[in-house]
């Protein structure tokens, strides 16, 4: 079963069983997790449908996407960015090597059935791994992508370091990251998830934040701008900011 998380409850969505062998629960707990973020825009055809049909097809679209992952969360990006209307954050554990391929195959099938009403605009994804700059197993400020509750706001973007960064000594990089970590800890209300995409997408990381205070988050980013590590940022755009949506309330807004 996949969980479609609403603002107040979790709805289980049937998911087709994989043909792969069963996974030991302890191995699943240690599995790499895939984080997938996709923005979508409504097509002209979507608005040509009558209200009842429009809501029904939108509900089926979201349920189909949720069925491809363990958790799925819906966000508003329309009016916040120019390219898309909604964003879906999906998370799935990858205990077996073929699980990534299974996810992308089922995701494509789920999207293709509804491309006449919702078109993908921008896709970012990456996978978890332990940080090389922090010795803690899990920080209190680290996002659990499988948690049933989500913060009101999501901010995420692709991120790439310069080649010069990787040519620095390990201790030099650690010192600069210590400054970065120190500032971040002063904003304990803001949580973060770092996903790795080396060799898999055009960027190296996907950086994900959750917060209930956008002005506070903006102050954090401003403060991080004058850290030494900033010199070694090659790119950190496009940036996506989303507002968490209750799927049922979202459907009501579709007319």
> Do residues 165 and 69 both lie within one domain?
no
> Do residues 236 and 157 both lie within one domain?
yes
Q: What is the CATH number of the domain that holds 234?
A: 3.30.70.1030
Tell me the sheet residues that pair with 172: none
> Do residues 90 and 6 both lie within one domain?
yes
Containing structural domain, residue 80? 2-129
Task: Give domain status of residue 224, yes or no.
Answer: yes
Q: Of the given ranges (131-140, 161-170, 196-205, 214-223), which has the lowest mean pLDDT?
A: 131-140
* Rg, Å, the chain Cα set: 19
- Over residues 63-108, the pLDDT tens digits come to 999 999 999 999 999 999 999 999 999 999 999 999 999 999 999 9
- Over residues 228-245, the pLDDT tens digits come to 999 999 999 999 999 999
> Do residues 123 and 160 both lie within one domain?
no
Task: Give domain status of residue 62, yes or no.
Answer: yes
Residue 148: pLDDT band by 50, 70, 90 thresholds? Answer: confident
pLDDT of residue 135: 60
Percent of the chain residues topping a pLDDT of 90: 82
Task: Give domain status of residue 144, yes or no.
Answer: no
Tokens 């909604």 belong to residue: 86
> Do residues 120 and 221 both lie within one domain?
no
Task: Give domain status of residue 10, yes or no.
Answer: yes
Task: Give domain status of residue 250, yes or no.
Answer: no
pLDDT of residue 31: 79
102: enclosing H helix or E strand? helix 99-112
Looking at 129, 145, 166, the residue that finishes a domain is 129
Q: In angstroms, how far is CA 71 from the centroid of its own chain? A: 11
Of 6, 21, 39, nearest in space to 238 by CA: 39
User: DSSP string spanning 131-187?
Assistant: -SS---SS-TTB--TT-S---SEEEEEEEEE-HHHHHS-HHHHHHHHHHHHHHHHT-
Task: Give domain status of residue 113, yes or no.
Answer: yes
Question: Is the model's pLDDT at 140 over the cut of 50?
Answer: yes
CB atoms < 10 A from the CB of 89, how many?
Answer: 24
> Do residues 56 and 120 both lie within one domain?
yes
> Do residues 45 and 85 both lie within one domain?
yes
- Over residues 7-55, the pLDDT tens digits come to 433 343 434 333 343 444 444 446 799 999 999 999 999 999 999 999 9
pTM given for the model: 0.87
Tally of domains within the chain: 2
Of 144, 145, 164, nearest in space to 229 by CA: 164
- Asked if residue 72 lies in contact with residue 65, where contact means CB atoms within 8 angstroms, the answer is yes
pLDDT of residue 133: 59
The average pLDDT across 131-151 equals 81
Task: Give domain status of residue 177, yes or no.
Answer: yes
> Do residues 95 and 166 both lie within one domain?
no
> Do residues 67 and 27 both lie within one domain?
yes
Contact partners, residue 26, CB within 8 Å, separation at least 6: none
Query: What mean pLDDT value characterizes the chain?
Result: 89
The average pLDDT across 185-199 equals 96
Question: Is the model's pLDDT at 222 over the cut of 50?
Answer: yes
């Amino acid at each position: 079963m996949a969980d479609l998380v609403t603002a107040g409850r979790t709805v289980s969505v049937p998911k087709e069983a994989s043909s792969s062998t069963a996974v030991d629960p302890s191995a699943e707990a240690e599995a790499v997790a895939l984080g997938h973020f996709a923005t979508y825009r409504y097509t002209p055809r979507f608005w040509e449908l009558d209200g009842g049909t429009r809501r029904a097809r939108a509900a089926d679209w979201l349920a189909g996407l949720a069925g491809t992952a363990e958790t799925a969360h819906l966000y508003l990006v329309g009016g916040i960015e120019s390219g898309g209307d909604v964003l879906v954050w999906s998370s799935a554990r990858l205990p077996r090597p073929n699980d990534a391929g299974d996810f992308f195959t089922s995701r494509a099938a789920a999207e293709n059935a509804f491309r006449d009403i919702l078109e993908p605009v921008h896709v970012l994804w990456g996978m978890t791994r332990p940080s090389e700059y922090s010795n803690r197993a899990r920080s209190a400020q680290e996002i659990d992508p499988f948690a049933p509750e989500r913060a009101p706001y999501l901010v995420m973007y692709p991120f790439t370091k310069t080649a010069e960064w990787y040519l620095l000594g390990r201790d030099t990089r650690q010192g600069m990251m210590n400054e970065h970590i120190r500032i971040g800890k002063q904003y304990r209300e803001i949580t973060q998830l770092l996903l790795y995409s080396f060799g898999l997408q055009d960027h190296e990381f996907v950086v994900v934040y959750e917060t209930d205070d956008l002005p506070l988050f903006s102050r954090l980013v401003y403060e991080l701008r004058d850290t030494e590590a900033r010199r070694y940022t090659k790119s950190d755009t496009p940036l996506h900011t989303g507002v968490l949506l209750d799927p049922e309330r979202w459907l009501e807004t579709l007319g």
